[in-house]
Each structure stands twice: as C-alpha cells, then as structure tokens.
C-alpha cells in the first residue's frame, strides 16, 4: 500500500501548480529555515535602536536613519573613518564616524567661486632689482584638513620684496560649512627695473604664504617670507548640492549622481570632484548608482551601465564604460543592492542580476510575469544577506538563494516567505541584517526566542481513492501543530470538498492516527510550530509506518 516519507524539506515554487511540485516542495513556507533540509524556525528579531526611517545605516553600535527613502550612507575606510551621506540634508554631508552616529553632520565640500582678496602694497615703488609683480589667492581648510579650490586671484600689484603687503577681504562666515583655516598663496614674477626677467615667461605658481584661523579678515604679508608648497587644488570642485547616491567605491574615490551625470571624486579627497572625472550621455536617465571596488553600476530607466573602477585613473574619460544591449529599467529604487561584486535590482519582468557586463533575470524559474507583477515589485526594498536576497513589498516578503555566479541557475527549492514587513533594510559590513519598522531598528534572527514557522507541503496526488490513516513527525521535543486536509471533488461539482483528516499538536515522534474511513485522491499537510522537524511519514496504516 502507498506511503510517503519526507527526509528533505524545500521551499515554495509559485510558478508550478501545487500538485506538480517536487515531493519535498511546499505551497507555503513562512519563517522557516531550510538550510539543513529540515523545518527549523528563525529566531525572533532583536530591537537595537529606537531610531527609524525609510533609510537606515548600521555599523557596529552606530545607527543612522532618515525619512528620505533615497537617502544614502557610506563609510570611508581610511585611517580616519568617515561617513558620508546624501539625502539626509539639502546637500551632501560628512562626519567622523563617532560624531555622525549622533547625527552631527558637516556639509561636504566648500563654497563655489570664492571672491578675490584685496592686496595693497604699503611702501613706495622705485625702479630697481627688488621690484616684483604679485597676485594673491586663498583656500579654505575644514576641520578634517580638506582644502578647497582657490579663490579668484587678486588684481596684480607691483611691490618691493623688502616691504610688506596687506591682504584684506578674507571671508569670515560660511554658516553651513565647518571652516577652520584659511591658507594664503602668492604668485611672484621677478622684475628687472619694471621688466620681466628673462627665462621667466612661464606662468608663476601660487606658493603658500601662511595659514590663518578662519574669521581673520586681513593679513600682513611680511617682507622676506619663505614660501611653502604650491597650491594644487585648482581643479577641485565641491559636490553639487543636488548630488544623490553618494557612495564610497573602495578605491579611495566617492561617486554620486548629479542629474544625468556620474561624478567621481579625487582619490582620497572626498570633497573634490574635478570636471575631468564626470561621465554622462547614458542611454536612459540614471536612477540609482551602486559602487564596488571593481565595478560601479548605473541603473537607468532604460539600459543599465557598468563602469570599471578597479584600476587607478586620473585623466578625463579614462575609465571603461559598458552599456548593456538589453533594456532592463529599474522600477524600484530601494530594490537595488550589491553582493559579491554583482548588482541586484527589480525590473518589470523580475529580479535582475548584473555581473560585469552580463545580466539575467533570476526569478523566471520562480514566478511568471503575471505572478511577479502581483507582488508589486515597484514597491520592493531589498538586500542580499548570507547569499540570500531579501525582498519586501506591501504584499509579500520573500527570501531566496542567489547564484554564486551569473552562469548558475537559481535554487528554486530555497524560496521562502517571511512575516516581517519592514520600511527599510540594511546589511552591515559585519554581515548582519537590520530592518526598520515604525517603532525602531531590529536585527533579524538575533533574539532569544523562536518564531513560529508555517510549512504546507505539496498537494499529494494518490494513484486512486484511498484512506491515509496514520502519520508520524520525527522532531525534537517541542510542540508542533500538524494539520492534514483531504480534497474530494464529486462528479458534476465545480468546487472540491475539503475534509480535515487530522488537526493535532504533537510533542514527540510517535505515530498518530488520522480520520478513519475517508478516502481521497488529494491531500496536503501543514506543520506549524517552534520545534525542528527532521522527517515526515504518512501511510494507510500504523503498521506501514514501521516498515519505512
């Protein structure tokens, strides 16, 4: 007589009909850990912060949040650990990690087009060898030691090198910036009785004169000053105040989107975005930018773009850019994430995996196009944690294994659903998953207790009408609820008849009986609880369970 034995349990495959599923697959698999082939519950979620928002960032004990759903946080891994962010305020911000965790932000960059200083020679001119032609500029230095692009130059003045010059008109207030110092530079052209000395036709360089505290409105350039280093910040432009998706790329550079362009910073200079490091003319409007150590991904409303980030590159247009041939427009900003060098995001046809210049829709084996649309993918927020993509919409929360390479198939037996409904998710650099709800930030699967899992097996199709009268669940000694339902459709009936064959809480692995005298063609079993289930057996008699 027929009997069924399950020693391996799988997830759901919505694309297939319930009775066409593999024997170990399920119609429902919620809050269940299938990593060992058994039914095991996840731990409860641990609350770690009262902060909440539509975007979050977590780094060890540092918790940041923003109500802006497109806010972006990124850690700069240098000796002085900084955190940069966009979407938190009306402009990009930066701060040392310890201060950033207290939401104490400074504006990233410096003011644009600093006014020229005024330079006045205090002495009297005479035609001799000591006459010079000078121009002055200044730069701003913030509390982190970053230096701005120079101001406009002062008007050229004739001076004697043995007499002083007064420099005035230095800025004293920039409310949204954390300026600490002003550096003064001077360009000197030597004159011979008022004529430029031969062999000095080259443009004079601006050399450091002195550094003064911010707020000093004027400065006296004393005679016989020893000049310092040359000013090298002429090409430094601050990040645009409308920059979004500010990211640290791992090679010392920051990147962000400004309108239809991608801006990259000077290496190890997060405040400086030279014009030579800008890229545009993409086939589609950029929506999201994600950056790793080897590649950056520009996700547009048409064709995705990949920019090579690994090699050193400090000249205009030197980075290799590849535009994919297949249109794969992103439909959900928060669905995009990076994992293991690849990019994942939601499109109208499914979840896409980008790896280098290769792309494929991963979820075609899991959902039809209509089923995917029914999930509301335009709402999806997602992240990859432990090799699994976690995707959340108002209608469903899913978790499935992503392939290790773009050439591998998705493991359809690993798709499960979750009961949590977060408004933001984040995977920390410590590979821990965090999510935000209305009352705070939680760490997933880190609590002291266990959740209640729910697993409903495939719709079993028997070879003929027969009564399955006995079953057993091999499990640990924790109560689990087991429910069997039989389905029967009589001739000329449009709707099948359902009968509960058994509905019982079991606490051990002994055999249990089902409703006697009821034959059926179709049945399924639903197991819920907090105990681990290793095996499931069902047969037409208790004696047959012993022969398994």
Domains and CATH numbers, the chain: 3-42+452-546 (2.60.120), 50-101+237-443 (2.130.10.10), 118-221 (no CATH)
**pLDDT tens sequence across 350-379:** 999 999 889 999 999 999 999 999 999 999
pLDDT at 59 over 70: yes
In the chain, what is the straight-line distance between the N-terminal and C-terminal CA atoms, in Å?
12
Indicate the helix (H) or strand (E) that contains 339: strand 337-339
Under 8 Å between Cβ of 339 and 402: yes
Given this model, what pLDDT does residue 199 score? 52
Total residue count of the chain as it appears in this document: 548
343: how many CB neighbours lie within 10 A of its CB? 27
Given this model, what pLDDT does residue 160 score? 86
Q: What is the mean pLDDT of residues 507-527?
A: 91
Max mean pLDDT range (51-55, 172-176, 491-495): 51-55
Name the strands in the sheet holding 321-323, side by side, starting at the edge strand that comes first in the sequence.
Answer: 286-291, 295-300, 305-308, 321-323
pTM of the model: 0.90
Report the SS3 class of residue 142.
strand
pLDDT at 308 over 80: yes
* Residue among 445, 442, 438 nearest 423 (CA): 438
Strand partners, 535: 474
pLDDT at 546 over 70: no
- In whole angstroms, what is the distance from residue 288 CA to residue 334 CA? 9
**Backbone torsions φ then ψ of 372, nearest 5 degrees:** -65, -40
pLDDT at 492 over 70: no
**pLDDT tens sequence across 216-226:** 999 999 988 89
Which of the four pLDDT bands, split at 50, 70 and 90, describes residue 122?
A: confident
Indicate the helix (H) or strand (E) that contains 100: helix 97-100
pLDDT at 300 over 90: yes
Residue 418's alpha-carbon distances to 276, 321, 395, in angstroms, are 47, 38, 11
Residue 510's alpha-carbon distances to 4, 9, 222, 472, 535, in angstroms, are 16, 20, 97, 6, 12
SS3 annotation, 362-386: HHHHCCCHHHHHHCCHHHCEEEEEC
Q: How far is CA 140 from the centre of its chain?
A: 32
175: how many CB neighbours lie within 10 A of its CB? 5
Given this model, what pLDDT does residue 197 score? 53
- In whole angstroms, what is the distance from residue 526 CA to residue 471 CA? 13
* Half-sphere exposure in the Cβ direction for 444 (13 Å, CA): 27
* Local structure of residue 97 (DSSP, 8 states): H
Under 8 Å between Cβ of 335 and 346: yes
* Local structure of residue 104 (DSSP, 8 states): -
pLDDT at 494 over 60: no
Q: What is the mean pLDDT of residues 507-511?
A: 92
């Amino acid at each position: 007589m027929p009997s069924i034995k399950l020693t391996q349990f799988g997830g759901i495959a919505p694309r297939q009909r319930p009775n066409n599923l593999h024997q170990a697959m399920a119609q429902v698999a919620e809050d269940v850990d299938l990593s060992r082939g058994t039914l095991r519950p996840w731990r409860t979620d641990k609350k770690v912060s009262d902060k909440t928002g539509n975007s979050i960032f977590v780094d060890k004990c540092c918790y940041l949040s923003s109500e802006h759903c497109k806010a972006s946080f990124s850690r700069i891994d240098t000796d002085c650990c900084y955190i940069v962010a966009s979407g938190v305020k009306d402009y990009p911000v930066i701060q040392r990690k310890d201060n950033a965790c207290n939401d104490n932000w400074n504006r990233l960059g410096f003011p644009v087009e600093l006014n020229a200083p005024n330079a006045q020679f205090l002495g009297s001119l005479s035609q001799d060898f000591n006459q010079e032609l000078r121009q002055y500029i200044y730069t701003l230095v913030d509390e982190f030691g970053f230096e701005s692009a120079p101001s406009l130059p002062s008007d050229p003045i004739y001076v004697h090198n043995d007499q002083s010059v007064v420099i005035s008109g230095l800025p004293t207030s920039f409310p949204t910036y954390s300026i600490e110092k002003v550096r003064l530079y001077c360009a000197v052209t030597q004159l011979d009785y008022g004529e430029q000395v031969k062999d000095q036709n080259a443009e004079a360089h601006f050399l450091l004169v002195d550094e003064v505290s911010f707020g000093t409105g004027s400065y006296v350039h004393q005679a016989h000053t020893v000049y310092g280093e040359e000013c090298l910040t002429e090409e430094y432009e601050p990040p645009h105040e409308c920059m979004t998706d500010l990211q640290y790329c791992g090679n010392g550079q920051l990147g962000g989107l400004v309108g239809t362009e991608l801006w990259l910073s000077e290496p190890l200079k997060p405040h400086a975005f030279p014009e030579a490091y800008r890229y545009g003319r993409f086939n589609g409007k950029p929506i999201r930018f994600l950056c790793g150590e080897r590649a950056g991904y520009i996700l547009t409303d048409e064709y995705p773009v990949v920019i090579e980030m690994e090699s050193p590159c400090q000249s205009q247009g030197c980075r290799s850019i590849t535009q994919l041939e297949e249109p794969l427009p992103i439909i959900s900003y928060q669905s995009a994430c990076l994992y293991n060098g690849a990019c994942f995001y939601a499109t109208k046809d499914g979840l896409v995996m980008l790896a280098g210049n290769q792309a494929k829709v991963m979820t075609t084996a899991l959902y039809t196009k209509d089923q995917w649309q029914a999930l509301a993918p335009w709402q999806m927020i997602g992240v990859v944690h432990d090799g699994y993509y976690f995707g959340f919409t108002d209608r469903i929360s899913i978790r499935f294994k992503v392939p290790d390479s773009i050439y591998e198939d998705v493991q359809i037996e690993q798709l499960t659903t979750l009961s949590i409904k977060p408004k933001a998710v984040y995977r920390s650099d410590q590979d821990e998953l965090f999510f935000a709800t209305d009352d705070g930030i939680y760490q997933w699967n880190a609590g002291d207790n266990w959740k209640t899992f729910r697993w409903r097996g495939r719709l079993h199709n028997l070879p003929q009408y027969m009564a399955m009268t006995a079953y057993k669940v091999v499990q640990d000694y924790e109560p689990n609820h087991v429910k069997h339902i039989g389905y029967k459709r009589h001739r000329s009936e449009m709707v099948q008849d359902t009968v509960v064959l058994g509905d019982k809480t079991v606490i051990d692995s002994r055999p249990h009986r089902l409703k006697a005298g009821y034959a059926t063609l179709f049945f399924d079993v639903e197991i819920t609880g907090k105990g681990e289930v290793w095996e499931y057996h069902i047969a037409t008699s208790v004696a047959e369970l012993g022969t398994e």
